[in-house]
Amino acid sequence: MAAGCSPVVSIASANFPAWLLCLLAGISVALIAHQLFVGIGIDEWIAPKVIVYSCLAGVVASLFWLMAWR
């Protein structure tokens, strides 16, 4: 019964769960932020890079979920 609560997005006749699109958006923003941080010079000061960038991707994915599917 809980499986029907998740929104499904149809892209090119294929059904994708909405959380998958939000996750891809979060990862994309984290990759762009990484390039931006390297360009600015902030990346060398980030200590646990794996944790920081994965949390950034998670936060962006959650915000995208809240904005798109309240």
Mean pLDDT, each 10-residue run in order, the chain (70 residues): 63 75 92 95 91 95 86
26 CB-contact burial (10 Å; exposed 0-12 / middle 13-18 / buried 19+) = buried
Provide the domain count of the chain.
1
Q: Is residue 6 part of a domain?
A: no
Which pLDDT does position 9 carry in this prediction? 72
Q: Is residue 58 part of a domain?
A: yes
Q: Is residue 59 part of a domain?
A: yes
Tokens of 57: 């991707």
pTM above threshold 0.85? no
Q: Is residue 44 part of a domain?
A: yes
Domain of 40, in residue numbers: 17-68
Among 51, 28, 54, 69, which Cα is nearest to 19's? 69
Which pLDDT does position 12 carry in this prediction? 72
